Structure 1
Amino acid sequence: GMESWEEAEAALDLVSAPLAVDGGQEHEKGSWDEEPEEEFVPPRSSDDGDRNYDEPVLIVELSEAARQLGADDIDLSSLRDQLQQALYGSFISRSAELFGSGYCRHSTRERCNDERDALEEAKPDAVFTVIPYPFEAEGISIHALWAAVREPSGWEAVDEFKVLIADVSRDVRWKSEMCVELEALAAKEQEASFEQSMTEDDAMPFGDDAEEAVSERSPSVIDLLLDMLLRDLARPAATTLADHVHEVAERRDFLRRMWLMTFGRLPPASGLALKHMPRPDIQPVRSNGPSRMLVPLPRA
Structure 2
Amino acid sequence: MTSEPLETETPTNELFRPNRQTAKRVEFVVKSIFTLFALISVATTIGIVLTLIFEAVEFFKEVPIWRFLTDLEWTPLFANPKFGILTLISATFLTSSIAISVALPMGLLSAICLSEYASPRIRSFLKPAIEILAGVPSVVFGYFALLLVTPFLQKIIPGLQGFNALSGGLVLGVSIIPLVASLSEDAIYSVPRSLREGAYALGGTKREVIIGVVLPAALSGIVASFILAISRAVGETMIVAIAAGQNPRLTLNPLVPIETMTAYIVQVSLGDTPAGSLAYKTIFAVGMTLFLLTLILNVFSFWFVRRFREKYD
TM-score after normalising by structure 1: 0.27
TM-score (normalizing by structure 2) = 0.26
